[in-house]
Structure 1
Amino acid sequence: MTQDLTLYAMPSSGNSYKVQLLLGLLHRSYRQVDCENASSALAQARAAGALPLGKVPALHLADGTILSESGAILWYLAQGSAFIPADPLAQAQMLGWMFFEQNRLEGVIAVRASLRCYPERAAQATPERLAALLEDGHTLLALLDAHLAGRNWLVGDAPSLADIAVYGYTHSSGSRGGYDMDRFPAIAAWCARIAALPGYVPLQVPA
């Protein structure tokens, strides 16, 4: 398949990773432009207009159209695939989890990880803020774990965009965010199922 897609991505970002993961699961070929956090490449991409909303991920299509926002990109790429359920109710439930991830989970899990992993944000990583994010994150992860108990996927009987979106930051919340994932066995089993899917690609964390 020709490389008709170019993805501007931050390798360490869960939002970029969601798109990379779906592309892998769909076995889609693409070209990637790495724009790591605080890098000159990111600044250059912004200056060149490659990131219309000023952030990654951004997917460039063959006709010059640029798509922004990870959820919108996932929706576009998954059209016609099994990752979008056919049933309207299941679609709504899938979107509900995608909105939950962006509106609640990312603002806690991803923020704590960024404070711990990016040196330029160390000044914002006060003990009080880290403690609050830890408590809030454990609460949200417990909610997710309870939903996954007794089921394989977030919605229905097959993996959907909901699983890909929520997995993006959740799977590294222990290693990067410092959350106690031993508390959440259902999440661990779910993460293992996703990692076993054909075409799975891991998060690219710079050394």
Structure 2
Amino acid sequence: MRLHSAPRSGNSYKVRLLLGLLGTSCEVVDYDTKGGETHAPGFLESVNPDGKVPVLELGDGTMLPESGAILYYLAEGTPYLPEEKLERAQVLRWMLFEQYSLLLNLSRPRLWRMWGVEITAQRRAELEQLFEQGYRALGVMERYLGGREFFVGDHPTVADVALYVYPRLCAEGGYELEGFPAVGAWLERIATLPGYVPPPG
């Protein structure tokens, strides 16, 4: 397998993290997304016409884009994807929550800082909305984690992997997690798992 990735991409990190936790070896090919490499004709034609990473290239040459789909594919047949019907649905529930409530709100402030985007009055107003919704999503996680070690069942699943990345990186965008002790303890718990891969520097 080959992972088409970007060094500081949170979505790419999700896949690298799961690969590490599973002990699965995989060649990694990194792209400069800011420099436009994922929009070059060769990438669009042979890797992903949507111009995004991560993309998992399988042994037969099949390209599987979208981090959630890749996580689900890699977790199949492992303890990271439960066999029981309701638990699998709960995994999907939290993966969808991550995509719709967590990712954009926590990732965009980090991305703007990382790329040195000028904060205009319009962007400042947008940031206020992002932080409001981001803290709301973190509050949902905080309340749910009360008395729980992981999000589904009594062991880590691919839901934890999907949810982990942007809360772990959100301080780079200006978020503060002091008011979310259960989330903080859960982040530390994930970081102690065998095969854990540190986030991009």
Q: How does the TM-score come out when normalised to structure 2?
A: 0.93
CA offsets, 1:100-147, max 9 Å, x none? 10112112111222122212x435672212222112211111111111
Give the CA deviation at 1:162. 0.5
Where does residue 85 of structure 1 map in the other structure? 82
Root-mean-square deviation (CA, aligned residues, Å) is 1.6
Does the aligned pair in 1 maintain the 2:102–2:137 contact within 8 Å? yes
| Map 1:48-127 → 2, pairs under 5 A | 48-119=45-116, 121-122=117-118, 126-127=123-124
User: CA separation in 2, counterparts of 1:65 and 1:123?
Assistant: 40
Give the CA deviation at 1:187. 0.6
Give the partner amino acid of 1:86. Answer: E
Does the aligned pair in 1 maintain the 2:39–2:51 contact within 8 Å? no
**Is 1:141 aligned to residue 168 of structure 2?**
no
Does the aligned pair in 2 maintain the 1:34–1:41 contact within 8 Å? no
Give the CA deviation at 1:79. 1.1
User: CA separation in 2, counterparts of 1:131 and 1:11?
Assistant: 28
CA offsets, 1:71-123, max 9 Å, x none? 1101111111000112110110110000010112112111222122212x435
Give the CA deviation at 1:46. 2.4
User: CA separation in 2, counterparts of 1:122 and 1:96?
Assistant: 35
Equivalent pairs, count: 199
Where does residue 46 of structure 1 map in the other structure? 43
Give the CA deviation at 1:186. 0.4
| Map 1:147-186 → 2, pairs under 5 A | 147-174=144-171, 176-186=172-182
Q: Which runs of 5+ in 2 are unaligned?
A: none
User: CA separation in 1, counterparts of 2:137 and 2:86?
Assistant: 24
| 3-state SS in 1 of match to 2:170 | coil
CA offsets, 1:42-84, max 9 Å, x none? 3445245222332000010110100011011011111110001
User: CA separation in 1, counterparts of 2:143 and 2:118?
Assistant: 33
User: CA separation in 2, counterparts of 1:123 and 1:135?
Assistant: 17
**Is 1:29 aligned to residue 25 of structure 2?**
yes
Give the partner amino acid of 1:179. Answer: Y
| Map 1:11-26 → 2, pairs under 5 A | 11-26=7-22
Give the partner amino acid of 1:199. Answer: G
**Worse-matched range after superposition: 137-146 or 32-41:** 32-41
Q: Which runs of 5+ in 1 are unaligned?
A: none
| 3-state SS in 2 of match to 1:94 | helix
Q: How does the TM-score come out when normalised to structure 1?
A: 0.90
Percent of aligned pairs with the same residue?
43
Does the aligned pair in 1 maintain the 2:44–2:50 contact within 8 Å? no
Give the CA deviation at 1:40. 5.1
Does the aligned pair in 1 maintain the 2:101–2:133 contact within 8 Å? no
Give the partner amino acid of 2:62. Answer: T
